[in-house]
Amino acid sequence: MKLLEVRNLKVFFPIKDKLFGKPDKFVKAVNDVSFHVEKGEIFSIVGESGSGKSTIAFTLMGIYRKNNGDIVFNGKKIENIGDFDLLRKRIQIVFQDPDSSLDPRKRVRDIIGEGLKIHKIGTKAEINRKIEDVVEKVGLTQDILKKYPHELSGGQKQRVGIARALILEPELLILDEPTASLDVSIQAQILNLLVELQERLGLTYILITHDLNLVKHISDRIMVMYLGKVMEIGSTAQIMSGPLHPYTKALLASVPVPDPEKRNEDEETLTGEIPSPLNPPEGCPFRPRCKYSMDDCWNELEPIEMKERIVFCHLYKEHENSGGV
Ligand SMILES: Nc1ncnc2c1ncn2[C@@H]1O[C@H](COP(=O)(O)OP(=O)(O)OP(=O)(O)O)[C@@H](O)[C@H]1O
Ligand SMILES: [Mg+2]
């Protein structure tokens, strides 16, 4: 069952010209992106910095406004402010850096309970009971509730961030680089906690990350993005062991391996710079960096669907609708 469906989403940021203050250019942070998330799955969004991953998250949360496209949550099209208010409760987010996302002036009890207060859920006693429950769920002890963020370790802070998101019993949890700011030894603990919570509470996650090693182990499906566009979508096994798009292939080949000498010499790694998002290439945005680039790649491309996967690449045009690769 589809929990979330995003169709042709566009989110553009105006860049004001210095002289007159009028927007004269746009960063097309998310440019015609479509995907869906199944109830109960871990759906990962991967791509290099600036590809538009967080912008999608912030737009789903109603923090950024969409320029175009549809967001459908639980079968309901999200259109007006009231719909987004509802979505803000049903979708919660865990940010990369707990240091900047936890208010340093508040005690942990107030940080975790804030969402319930904002949404006016429960009496004081009920709120306290929920806070104490969720603290246990994320593997913390009750004495943490009276502490301030600066008294906590990095891992504890991120557990507080997760507790704050979980207390509203969201249907969808967005994890935006949830382990990137943590020490390597703590990363695994937080990851295990997230996987355990997902299984135990039947949660649905959107996991946003640069780290392909991380998605490999825990996600069900992956969407690869580049400069605001989707490159391909498929199951984790399909993407990891049989990437189609040259960008995905290069991204996978750039993942550090324990023994670099064993790397296949033919593997294409990422070369060249990411073009400016203010002036993205016409057609396929990966075209200037792609070794298979051809004349066709200057043209816009419709999604090519093959065996439950979707790829945006002219190399596969002949396979369109053939059901095979
Ligand atoms: N509020 C904003 N105003 C203007 N431009 C923005 C804003 N937020 C994001 N952008 C631009 O939109 C593009 C996509 O940014 P976004 O933060 O979504 O990328 P990302 O994939 O999350 O990157 P990272 O991996 O570095 O977090 C970038 O070019 C970024 O500079
Ligand atoms: Mg981001």
- In the Cβ-directed half-sphere of 108, how many Cα atoms lie within 13 Å? 27
Asked if residue 229 is part of any domain, the answer here is: no
Query: 179 lies in which domain range?
Result: 2-219
The counts of H helices and E strands in the chain are: 10, 12
pLDDT computed for residue 81 by the predictor: 83
Asked if residue 242 is part of any domain, the answer here is: no
H or E element, residue 118:
helix 108-118
pTM for the structure as a whole: 0.92
The count of domains in the chain is 1
Asked if residue 255 is part of any domain, the answer here is: no
3-class SS at 321?
A: coil
Contacts with 20 (C-beta within 8 Å, 6 or more apart), sequence order: none
pLDDT computed for residue 263 by the predictor: 57
Ligand 1 atom with the smallest distance to the CA of 15 is 4
Residue to mutate (ligand 1; options 51, 65, 229, 273; most atoms within 8 A of CB): 51
Asked if residue 252 is part of any domain, the answer here is: no
Q: Which of 33, 27, 59 is nearest to 47 (CA)?
A: 33
pLDDT computed for residue 243 by the predictor: 94
Q: Could you read off the pLDDT of 31-43 as tens digits, one per residue?
A: 999 999 999 999 9
Residue to mutate (ligand 1; options 27, 58, 65; most atoms within 8 A of CB): 27
Kind of pairing between the strands at 91-94 and 2-16 = unpaired
CA dihedral 207, 209, 212, 215 (to 10 degrees): -10
Measuring from atom 3 of ligand 1, which residue has the nearest CA?
13
Pocket lining: 50 vs ligand 1, CB cutoff 6 Å: yes
Ligand 1 atom with the smallest distance to the CA of 52 is 18
CATH number, domain with residue 27: 3.40.50.300
Write out residues in the chain with pLDDT < 70, as ranges.
17-21, 23, 257-268, 319-325
CA gap 231, 246 in Å, rounded: 9
Q: Which of 174, 204, 182 is nearest to 54 (CA)?
A: 174
pLDDT computed for residue 325 by the predictor: 46
With tokens 């499906």, the residue in question is 221
Pocket lining: 30 vs ligand 1, CB cutoff 6 Å: no
Q: State which amino acid sits at residue 288.
A: P
Asked if residue 69 is part of any domain, the answer here is: yes
Q: What is the DSSP letter of 90?
A: H
Asked if residue 251 is part of any domain, the answer here is: no
CA gap 245, 285 in Å, rounded: 12
- In the Cβ-directed half-sphere of 200, how many Cα atoms lie within 13 Å? 10
Do 269 and 257 contact (CB within 8 A), yes or no? no
Contacts with 116 (C-beta within 8 Å, 6 or more apart), sequence order: 122, 127, 130, 167, 168
* Token pair of 15 as six digits: 């860049």
Do 172 and 39 contact (CB within 8 A), yes or no? no
pLDDT computed for residue 265 by the predictor: 55
CA gap 325, 322 in Å, rounded: 8
pLDDT computed for residue 20 by the predictor: 67
